[in-house]
Structure 1
Amino acid sequence: MAKARFRERPFLISRSLFPLPRTQIDPHEQQRDVEAAGCAGPPYRPARDQPCAAGRAVLQRLPAAFSRRSSGGARTTHGHRPSKPRRLQGHHPRRASGSRHECGSPGREAEPRTAGRHLRGVESMSLAEIGKPGNITSRLLENEKARDCLIPMGITSEKVAERFGISREKQDTFALASQQKAARARSRGCFRDEIVSVTTTILDDTKGTKKRITVSQDEGIRPDTTMEGLSKLKPAFKNGGSTTAGNASQVSDGAAAIPLAQRSKAEELGLPILGVLRSYAVVGVPPDIRGIGPAYAIPVALQKSGLTVNDVDIFEINEAFASQAVYCVEKLGIPPEKLNPLGGAVALGHPLGCTGARQVITLLNELKRRRKRAYGVVSMCIGTGMGAAAVFEYPGN
């Protein structure tokens, strides 16, 4: 089969991008990606006379009124059809795996449908229109499973914690570890090769004047986080609940980009090999506890690649909420030292349409730093009741 190849890509997650709509955030990534692939062009637009050899671009973002994706999932569930709602952050590993084709036999590489792709994810949650789910009929609301698709994400986190006995202390401990790992990684320069600086104009709230700033690092990392501080935070979604602003992912803006190519195209262009996509899987889970998706998607992806949990060096599991991440880690028996070694979404942020690509980038760069052949898994829960997982191999120097 043809070979899937990735190169390290930059990413950026920042609250300072608030003034920039998605159409302005993404070109920063696009131009950097095009230049890295050897396709020159004017700033922030593809060169028309020398298109990128990847041949195809795929952009993933969340709909402006992102709560409406729940109503779509509810409609398909109500109709008793196989549900294929918009896969949000799970979109990028799926695109990498070859879109309509699932990854193949154990030990074999995934096959992209084209010679190359330019995968991009961008999100501006600061400017997102958070509204009602849209037009919902009474018949749909009478269907319990369909109705569960409309449950807010924060409440699903509470349901996971209650149903599986994930205590507030466990969630806060997990969140603290994420912040500490991210702070340590940033101080060591682990994100330096991944981040593209963005210069923009913001409104100074204190003075009411505009000023130019340059964002060059993730802004959600809090090195001074303590258990005492986390324990003082009030529940964010439910009285007496355990999900807080400290143990949940952050509302963030950001963009990420990944060039993907068949082996023959990568060799033709002389591109270095950063990673091999081995397998990919998507599974369905109950919508009211959708955060448990990775616990069921990861075993399927590992089986497809002929690997076990013990064979994997790094697990990049999205930390939408500490409750669901703790459940997945305990369910699969993942050693703490293998989980999100550079921190996760609790510290780095979770721009929904960008996260899948960001995870792949962080994973492959960390595998590269280890200077040996290694395997990594990227996984996340998705929208209205799914989990996605992809297995990558770093071939070594």
Structure 2
Amino acid sequence: MSKQIQDAYVVAASRTPIGKAPKGTFRNVRPDDLLVHAIRSALAQVPGLDPAVIEDVIAGCAMPEAEQGLNVARVAALLAGLPNSVGGVTVNRFCASGLTAVAMAADRIRVGESDVMIAAGCESMSMVPMMGNRPSMNPRVFERDENLGIAFGMGLTAERVAKQWNVSREAQDAFALESHRRAIAAQQAGEFADEICPVEVVEKFPDLATREIEVRTRTVSLDEGPRADSSAEGLARLRPAFAAPKDPTGKATGMGSVTAGNSSQTSDGAGALILVSERMLKQFGLTPLARFVSFAVRGVPPEIMGIGPKEAIPAALKAAGLKQDDLDWIELNEAFAAQSLAVIQDLGLDTARVNPMGGAIALGHPLGATGAIRSATVVHALRRRQLKYGMVTMCVGTGMGAAGIFERM
């Protein structure tokens, strides 16, 4: 017997500040501890909710090994003090891991299999490198030309997008500068306060003279990446960080244009959302922040993976029965300025609605955590500014795009 599709509501959304990797504020903080903090902070937003009714924690992580391995979702659920009855599963869709976790949690509720779910994401790029501790690419990737894109570094795919979509170095640097400007303005206005749960960092230093351990404690409450001193002149001086794009014969086609300044920052962070059914809203007297409306993922050629949102956004809109103009707020993950500008250009996105508080170039991109973090941003921004529909979307390594839509209640 088929079940009627029901709505899934977000009742809490919290995230840690984002630290710079590998030498930033969270360089010695374990990613599972960041996830624990995000989960506890989300739970604190709904004190009337009985934790015993939570059925599962789904957490995204792009490199689920080492300090963020061993099914980090279940480990974090237990360390956060949730009952033993609460399950945990870790999912990996690279940069869309956190958003996929939100979609999976919502789907469990929408088909009537669960009533209360936690969706989350965590990543420490300080502790676990981009490709993991022991990358091992399948040799078959290199046997056929059409599979080589799977092995391309992300920067190289951005160079290809810049060339194919005619995105200039100047345009990329201008986009990056605006990301920092918006992020700094949002920080100064206190616009991240609703979503960020400050983290207390405790560090210990040995004093060889006294043979004692000095304990230093500091509270981190803002993202570490935004730079007030970022300038067009400074960005222009940066050298291209990746290989120049090549023509079919293998000859380089001029200088590259993708730099460290117009790319996302490697980062550490975590985020968590609590989703419930309408029955739980009534049972516990909860106030919904937003309704999860739709999700879509689409594939694109791996060598131009950055263009993925161009395919995922229309699919998510179609599933929601909405038009692009209905979107009031779009969190387009800035993996690279080149790919962000290509997506904006092809879809004709309103730049005033794209990343109004800055994006990953300024704020950082802790891979598997980003989807959950930016979902928290959208949910609180819609409520704070009294807007209706918001979207989180990103490109994904190996050639994918993902997009999820939220509606303020």
Query: Hey, what's the Cα distance between the residues in 1 that align with 2:283 and 2:133?
Result: 50
Equivalent residue number for residue 403 of structure 2: 389
Query: Hey, what's the Cα distance between the residues in 2 that align with 1:39 and 1:198?
Result: 23
Equivalent residue number for residue 96 of structure 1: 102
Structure 1 residue 215 displacement after superposition:
1.0
Is 1:278 paired with 2:287? no
Whether the 8 Å CA contact 1:375–1:394 is kept in 2: the answer is yes
1:195-221 alpha-carbon deviations (Å, 9 max, x no partner): 1111123478xx997633221110101
Larger deviation, residues 237-246 vs 155-164: 237-246
Q: State the secondary structure of the residue aligned to 2:406.
A: strand
AA matched with 2:96:
G
Query: Hey, what's the Cα distance between the residues in 2 that align with 1:269 and 1:125?
Result: 38
Equivalent residue number for residue 193 of structure 2: 192
**Percent identity between the two aligned chains:** 36
Query: Hey, what's the Cα distance between the residues in 2 that align with 1:290 and 1:132?
Result: 23
AA matched with 2:373:
R
Is 1:36 paired with 2:36? no
Structure 1 residue 281 displacement after superposition:
0.6
Equivalent residue number for residue 238 of structure 1: 243
Equivalent residue number for residue 390 of structure 2: 376
1:247-285 alpha-carbon deviations (Å, 9 max, x no partner): 111011001000011122122221111111111111000
Structure 1 residue 371 displacement after superposition:
2.2
Is 1:7 paired with 2:8? no
Equivalent residue number for residue 334 of structure 2: 319
Structure 1 residue 187 displacement after superposition:
0.6
Is 1:22 paired with 2:23? no
Whether the 8 Å CA contact 1:60–1:91 is kept in 2: the answer is yes
Structure 1 residue 325 displacement after superposition:
0.3
Q: State the secondary structure of the residue aligned to 1:319.
A: coil
Query: Hey, what's the Cα distance between the residues in 2 that align with 1:182 and 1:100?
Result: 29
TM-score, structure 2 normalization? 0.82
Whether the 8 Å CA contact 1:98–1:112 is kept in 2: the answer is no
Equivalent residue number for residue 151 of structure 1: 152
RMSD between aligned residues:
2.6
Query: Hey, what's the Cα distance between the residues in 2 that align with 1:139 and 1:167?
Result: 35
Structure 1 residue 8 displacement after superposition:
4.2
Cα 1:280/1:263, change in 2 over 3 Å: same
Structure 1 unmatched runs, 5+? 41-49, 67-84, 103-108
Equivalent residue number for residue 308 of structure 2: 293
Equivalent residue number for residue 54 of structure 1: 54
Cα 1:87/1:180, change in 2 over 3 Å: same
Equivalent residue number for residue 211 of structure 1: 216
AA matched with 1:309:
Q
Structure 1 residue 299 displacement after superposition:
0.4
Whether the 8 Å CA contact 2:48–2:284 is kept in 1: the answer is no
Structure 1 residue 55 displacement after superposition:
2.0
Structure 1 residue 10 displacement after superposition:
2.2
Query: Hey, what's the Cα distance between the residues in 1 that align with 2:327 and 2:381?
Result: 13
Q: State the secondary structure of the residue aligned to 2:308.
A: helix
Whether the 8 Å CA contact 2:394–2:403 is kept in 1: the answer is yes
AA matched with 2:25:
S
Query: Hey, what's the Cα distance between the residues in 2 that align with 1:137 and 1:183?
Result: 43
Is 1:357 paired with 2:361? no
Equivalent residue number for residue 120 of structure 2: 120
AA matched with 1:149:
I
Structure 2 unmatched runs, 5+? 67-90, 245-254
Cα 1:65/1:162, change in 2 over 3 Å: farther
Query: Hey, what's the Cα distance between the residues in 2 that align with 1:151 and 1:304?
Result: 31
Equivalent residue number for residue 169 of structure 2: 168
Equivalent residue number for residue 307 of structure 1: 322
Query: Hey, what's the Cα distance between the residues in 1 that align with 2:386 and 2:136?
Result: 53
Is 1:87 paired with 2:93? yes
AA matched with 1:220:
G
Query: Hey, what's the Cα distance between the residues in 2 that align with 1:241 and 1:305?
Result: 39
Query: Hey, what's the Cα distance between the residues in 2 that align with 1:263 and 1:231?
Result: 52
Whether the 8 Å CA contact 1:197–1:217 is kept in 2: the answer is yes
Whether the 8 Å CA contact 2:60–2:92 is kept in 1: the answer is no
Whether the 8 Å CA contact 2:183–2:226 is kept in 1: the answer is yes
Cα 1:164/1:36, change in 2 over 3 Å: same
